[in-house]
Amino acid sequence: MPSLSDLGHLPKRLVLGRAVRSDRLGESLLPKRYALPIFASDPLSSVAYATQEILLVLTLAGTAFLYLAPWLAVAVVLLLITVVLSYRQVVHAYPSGGGDYEVAMKNHGQFAALVVASALLVDYVMTVAVSVSAGTDNIISAFPSLNEHRVLIAVGLVALLAAVNLRGVRESGKAFAVPTYLFISGISVMIVTGLIRYFFTDAGVVSETAQYTVTPEPAYENVAGLALLFFALRAFASGCTALTGVEAIANGVPAFKPPKSRNAATTLALMGGIAAAMFAGVTALALLSDVKYVEHPCDLEGFANCETEPQRTVIAQIGAAVFGGDGSVGFFVIQAATALVLVLAANTAFNGFPLLGSVLAQDRFMPRQLHTRGDKLVFSNGILLLAGFAALLIYVFDADVTRLIQLYIIGVFTSFTIGQWGMVRHWNREMRLEGDPAARRRMRRSQIINTVGGSLTSVVLVIIVLTKFTHGAWLVLVAMPILFGLMKAINRHYSNVSQQLVPDTDARTLPSKVHAVVLVSKVHKPTLRALAFARATRPDALTALTVNVDDADTRQLQADWERFDIPVPLTVLESPYREITRPVVDFVKNIRRDSPREIVIVFVPQYVVGHWWENVLHNQSALRLRARLQFQPGVMITTVPWQLESSLGRDDGDGSGPAPGALRRGLTDGASDSTPYG
């Protein structure tokens, strides 16, 4: 029969499953077939909205500048390939999982490393918020009536993702593998089918918005010269969302099966190739089918019910055009796969954020709790923290992708840039130490790759900051310094604590004597147990202490003290204002003041109850006393528990405790009611 403790753990076990032993950590390592959906779902899924973001910016000026889209897409693909090649160097050089943070710490120093850390932490939160909101958009594209429940759906999906990740990395990999591979297959089939229909059939591929015209925003009607360049760069910056999550594999190398670096580098190359091909294909189909996607639906002339009916996403419009309408099986398969993979793309952050948090906690820049693995050998605290912040962002921004996307990718390109220039320094240092010409040539090639990557990401970072700053990106540029300062403060605290705890000669000096003080309220079993325990420790001095808040009760206590012939003198402290805590603290302070080398041990009798509501009825004085006494130097506090009947028989946490009430009825562990005790 399950104990009360087992029942209390039941909801946790239903969500997480059985706890996993620490020595089974190696069994949770990932083969490449699971690592790809876990770590690469974010960049793979970004093809669902990267093209859309380019079109959304370009259509601010109507359709006049849609001819720029192919060139912008080519620029994004070239940047993606460069960044992937650059991170392959990081994976081989720094396989411990620190990624850009470790690269920055070892090559630029603490300041740059904390900039990278704050940028990545912000970006991981944004990844969850944007991916889940985009997935919700695709669900609503298939079922428009759900639009009014947008925020609730998105927050529920974040909670579901957190629960799946709390069950363990390997289990989440199995859960995410099918949707990710379904998305890759579905998009590939859609691209091939669409291109065949366009070039080899008379049916062609025509989107539902091809017939509409776009009303340009007044500010963009006459864009030319430098304004046109800035406009094009803004569209390019939005398209760079296709690169988000590329760094996650470099941060997750420890989760791969051996050989870790080689498997991670292979997975990174696969991810880059698939993402580039899908992004190029989706962009080509969007332009061939004449898809239009605007910031304000009513800018589409001819779009009925624009005030209430949501726009279909670019992927939804392409799917309907390729597979023959929004009622076709192919359309619903694409929408289902896209919605799933977008939601699961947040899993990249659910793996990257806890791992980075663990590294930061180990370096004492984040609370130590983030370095602790939970029941399923995952960093549970990091997962819960990420889910909480992402849900808050979704709520504040109403799960609106257009608003959230403006805060996106600044963090990731900050880490890209610092990390790549850090790798350039790394190769400089390695080449000074290497004498083998062949090895030096390999290092020189890697350095060139990282130099190109650092140069391109530096330019893109400047473009992103300039083009997105007034559209909400300033919030990220405020959040990053706040996180930076918080991490510095945490590190300063841990450093101060470490310095204060360094042993010195005085720490090994024995106290001159020990003075035990037993707090007494009345003569009963808890008091007698505390006195017996205090006497057993053989202190140099022993005082039974009570506070007089009621004359009649105090006289009764003194009479009982004499009647039970207790061999310890009873000291009574007067309290004209009926306060208990202050007189006791002052008494202890006086002992310490008279003899600074004397240790005072205060024994506090306390009831142990079996129900939460019983705590409200007991132990309040004991709690207040402990809270005050713990700040007194040279004072030790010893709680002497007395188990009330409601607490007897409670399980000890491993399922082996006696049944409720067994000890009170005189039954041994495992005995039946018919077996007498002793």
Give mean pLDDT in consecutive 10-residue pieces for the chain, a chain of 678 residues.
42 51 52 79 80 88 86 92 89 82 90 91 87 84 82 91 73 69 91 92 84 79 78 86 80 81 90 92 92 81 72 88 83 86 78 82 86 65 89 89 76 88 92 87 90 89 83 83 93 86 66 87 89 91 90 90 90 85 89 84 85 69 81 87 75 46 40 32
Which residue type occupies 560?
D
CA contacts within 13 A on the Cβ side of 46 = 30
pLDDT of residue 23: 45
DSSP annotation of 598 reads -
The sign one gets for the Cα dihedral 654, 655, 661, 666 is negative
pLDDT of residue 665: 39
Q: How many other C-beta atoms can be found within 10 angstroms of the C-beta atom of residue 613?
A: 7
Whether this model's pTM surpasses 0.85: no
Classify residue 573 by burial, with Cβ atoms within 10 Å: 0-12, 13-18, 19+.
middle
Nearest to 629, CA basis, from 517, 509, 499, 497: 517
pLDDT of residue 113: 92
Contact 120, 415 (CB under 8 A): yes
pLDDT of residue 192: 94
The Cα–Cα gap between 24 and 136 comes to: 37
* Tokens 């001095």, residue located: 541
The sign one gets for the Cα dihedral 380, 382, 386, 389 is positive
pLDDT of residue 506: 61
The Cα–Cα gap between 316 and 51 comes to: 12
Q: What are phi and psi of 575, to 5 degrees?
A: -140, 85
The Cα–Cα gap between 286 and 297 comes to: 18
Q: What is the dihedral of CA 176, 180, 185, 191, to 10 degrees?
A: 160
pLDDT of residue 64: 81
**Rounded to 5 degrees, what angle do the CA atoms 491, 414, 138 make?**
110
Contact 599, 514 (CB under 8 A): yes
User: What's the Rg (C-alpha) of the chain?
Assistant: 33
CA 216 to chain centre: 40
625 three-class SS:
helix
The Cα–Cα gap between 550 and 560 comes to: 16
